[in-house]
Amino acid sequence: MTTNNSRRSFITKAAIAAAMSPLATFGRGYEQAVDKTPKASPPANLKITDIKCGFIRGSLFVKIYTNQDLWGCGEGVDAIPGTYHLVKNFGERIKGKSPLNVHRLFEDIRKSGFFQGAQAGMYVAVLSAIETALWDLAGKALQLPVYQLLGGKFRDKVRVYCDTALYQQNLPTPADFAEAAKKAKSMGFNAIKFDLDQANDPNKYDRYNWTASPAELQRMYDQLSAAREAVGPTIDICADMHGRYDAVTGHAIAKRLESLNLMWLEEPVPAENVEAYKLISDSTSTPICVGENQYLAYGFRRMLEIGAVDIVMPDLQKCGGLGEGQRIANLANLYYVPFAPHMVASFLGAMASAHVCASVPNFMILEWQSYFHTQPMFKEIVTYDGEWVNNSFITVSEKPGIGVEINEAGMKKYALPGMPFFE
């Protein structure tokens, strides 16, 4: 780690002088204070030296290194397969630069990729991971939590809902929905999410036709009705359709579910046509939530302008990162639309998202994955000495940066075969 020679010289002389004086106890105490003082050079001298990455299932983890033995960690999801060389390419663009200029570096990479796909997809997902790592690094350098760098916080704790992950089960029944709902409630969660799309539903007309049959619509209603009955009226329930149906089905299911008082119905139709969302939203009292497949703040402008959605849910691990997530939230706030980020990452991604959620006034709720409680991998790949979640809330970390570190040793056994691992 680089030291400040002039400061060290002053401290050493002061300590020697104190030790030679009658107040030797002062000298010892002063030396102890010196030993505890960070010896890094001023932040102005901080420079990026390298970027390395590793891939685990659906996540890309990046680590940005500097000339002062400080590093920052970030995560990207979904649109990241095969992007190792893209990470390295972005790294070359910012080497030698100060990581404290987070917005400037973000714009440097984004604008230099105007003809390389910088509008969405893999380009933005990888940029999201790098941008997040820059915030983590800046926070560590300045000894501040990320939320403070984003302008401070409105809340100390961030409310989360539990995604029950029943999609892992083959054709879950209403009884399965009820059991999952009761289990989530018993774990302290006051909001729960279920998936309604079932590609292997035997009542589908065919694999490619996403008009739901009457039997499919009844199945969806029966599943959510069982969950509502199991947990009562005071637990929030939301339902995801993953954009896999047409507008006819979107209209039909949103109307049918009105009596269940959902927190929201998520992406009943594909994300590309926001005018279709406008028609569905206008036809029902069921709140419509959209955004996990939108990129950058530009992707949310039109839907907010025309009042197409009730709630926005950008995924901060792929929409552009933490700064872009805050911009999306602030844009939505101009239209009095709540901000409820999608989150399918590790606990690093969850805490990074929590910093943004704490920093905006219109935060509603953040996604939390049930796999954090059932799959040991998620505890092994990160290091965090606090409680992850308690009674449906994450306490926002007060540590410098994000507050969660990646554990490369724990990650290595889960790394994707054939892909470079932090090389």
288-324 pLDDT, tens digit each: 999 999 999 999 999 999 999 999 999 999 999 999 9
Instruction: State how far the Cα of 236 lies from the Cα of 193, in Å rounded to an integer.
Output: 8
Averaged pLDDT for residues 285-290: 98
pLDDT at 91 over 70: yes
Three-state secondary-structure class, residue 9: helix
Which two tokens mark 178?
Answer: 């009820």
Residue 412: what residue type? K
Residue with tokens 């206008």: 282
Instruction: State how far the Cα of 382 lies from the Cα of 404, in Å rounded to an integer.
Output: 7
Q: What is the pLDDT of residue 124?
A: 97
Q: What is the pLDDT of residue 43?
A: 75
Q: What is the pLDDT of residue 35?
A: 53
- For β-strands 366-369 and 71-77, DSSP reports them as unpaired
Q: What percent of the chain has pLDDT over 70?
A: 90
pLDDT at 410 over 90: yes
Q: What percent of the chain has pLDDT over 90?
A: 84
Confidence of residue 19 (pLDDT cuts 50, 70, 90): very low
Of 175-189, 195-209, 263-277, 386-400, minimum mean pLDDT range: 195-209
Distances (CA, A) of 194 to 21, 82, 184, 198, 307: 72, 30, 11, 12, 25
Q: Round the average pLDDT of the chain to a whole number and report it.
A: 91
Q: What is the pLDDT of residue 3?
A: 41
Of 35-39, 316-320, 340-344, 351-355, minimum mean pLDDT range: 35-39
pLDDT at 13 over 80: no
Instruction: State how far the Cα of 338 lies from the Cα of 1, in Å rounded to an integer.
Output: 44
For 349-386, b/e burial (b = at least 16 CB within 10 A) is bbbbbbbbbbbbebbbbbbbbbebeeeeebbebbebee
DSSP 192-257: EEEE---TT-TT-S-TT--SPPHHHHHHHHHHHHHHHHHH-TTSEEEEE-TT-S-HHHHHHHHHHT
If one compares 422 and 33, the residue with the highest pLDDT of the two is 422
First to last CA, the chain: 21
| Cross-strand pairs, 195 | 240
Averaged pLDDT for residues 176-180: 97
Q: What is the pLDDT of residue 208?
A: 87
pLDDT at 251 over 90: yes
Averaged pLDDT for residues 67-72: 95
The model's pTM:
0.89
Q: What is the pLDDT of residue 41?
A: 55
DSSP 339: B
What confidence tens digit (pLDDT) does each residue in 131-142 have?
Answer: 999 999 999 999
| Residue 28 CA, distance from chain mean position | 46
What confidence tens digit (pLDDT) does each residue in 24-41 have?
Answer: 333 454 345 435 545 455
